[in-house]
């Protein structure tokens, strides 16, 4: 029977956010953003182990008491500059722990509002799928294409468009093959690497609360969500 493992790439430098501290270690309600992602994944009953992929020279990770989250979290210092290469390095590092048919849930380190019920939905709807899938939400805003001077060049139809989120869940063997063949610099998520194999991952309804912290205002919003997650109906 296939098992479930989580992999959290946490090797990013957070250049778009600014500041000396990588985004995954920024504080939200007295905990680093990475804490919330690892806490949710490590507490889920279906996930056997959570691998967090760090830069070899990461000096922030050991500053936090991760042992409070239990024994299922294992850091691996094999991170790279590109996310796709970080994930591939992590997959190669856990080869001895997993079989090709096991499922890997890859989750962004800076999506701190992850909830167990969203993981349940992903596993339920994708666990018997021949390809795999990802959490996502339909696009609701009107989309504008900008020109070089930041003026509207055209309005794009939003019908059928979804915003990709994480976790993204694929079989270990398939994900290794997809990322090995992918151009790491041009691969922004695992699903796009799988798509380049000619496969169509399943879209599973996520939540607008599953935000990714990219800019300072995202951090403030994440703090509000984390404080009020039950009241917001997550």
Is residue 15's pLDDT more than 60? no
Contact 28/49 with Cβ under 8 angstroms?
Answer: no
Question: To which CATH superfamily is domain 4-135+163-227 assigned?
Answer: Spore Coat Polysaccharide Biosynthesis Protein SpsA; Chain A (3.90.550.10)
Q: Output the pLDDT for position 130.
A: 92
Tell me the sheet residues that pair with 8.
Answer: 52
Predicted confidence band at 159 (pLDDT cuts at 50, 70, 90)? confident
Q: Output the pLDDT for position 22.
A: 92
Tell me the average pLDDT across 139-164: 91
* Helix or strand (DSSP H, E) at 37: helix 33-43
Predicted confidence band at 234 (pLDDT cuts at 50, 70, 90)? low
* Structure confidence by residue, pLDDT tens digits, 53-72: 999 999 999 999 999 999 99
Contact 151/77 with Cβ under 8 angstroms?
Answer: no
Mean pLDDT estimate for the chain? 93
Tell me the average pLDDT across 19-33: 90
Domains of the chain, by residue range, sit at: 4-135+163-227
- Distance, CA of 175 to CA of 87 (rounded, Å): 9
* Structure confidence by residue, pLDDT tens digits, 72-113: 999 999 999 999 999 999 999 999 999 999 999 999 999 999
C-alpha pair distances (Å), 191 with each of 13, 50, 70, 178, 228: 22, 20, 30, 9, 30
* Structure confidence by residue, pLDDT tens digits, 188-228: 999 999 999 999 999 999 999 999 999 999 999 999 999 98
Is residue 17's pLDDT more than 90? no
pLDDT higher at 9 or 156: 9
| Residues above pLDDT 90, as percent of the chain | 85
């Amino acid at each position: 029977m296939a098992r479930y493992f989580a992999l959290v790439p946490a090797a990013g430098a957070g250049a778009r956010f600014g500041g000396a501290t990588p985004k995954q270690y920024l504080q939200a309600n007295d905990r680093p953003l990475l804490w919330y992602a690892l806490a949710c994944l490590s507490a889920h009953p279906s996930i056997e182990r959570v691998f967090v992929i760090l830069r070899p020279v990461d000096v922030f990770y050991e500053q936090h008491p991760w042992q409070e989250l239990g024994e299922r979290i294992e850091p691996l210092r094999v991170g790279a500059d590109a996310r796709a290469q970080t994930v591939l390095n992590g997959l190669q590092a856990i080869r001895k722990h997993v079989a090709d048919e096991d499922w890997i849930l890859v989750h962004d380190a800076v999506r701190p509002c992850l909830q167990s019920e969203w993981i349940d939905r992903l596993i339920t709807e994708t666990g018997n799928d021949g390809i795999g899938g990802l959490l996502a939400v339909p696009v609701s805003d009107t989309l504008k294409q900008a020109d070089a001077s930041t003026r509207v060049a055209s309005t794009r139809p939003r019908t059928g468009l979804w915003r990709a989120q994480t976790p993204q869940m694929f079989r270990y063997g398939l994900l290794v093959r997809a990322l090995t063949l992918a151009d790491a610099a041009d691969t922004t998520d695992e699903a796009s690497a799988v798509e380049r194999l000619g496969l169509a991952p399943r879209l599973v309804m996520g939540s607008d609360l599953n935000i990714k912290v990219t800019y300072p205002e995202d951090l403030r919003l994440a703090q509000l969500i984390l404080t009020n997650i039950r009241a917001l109906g997550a």
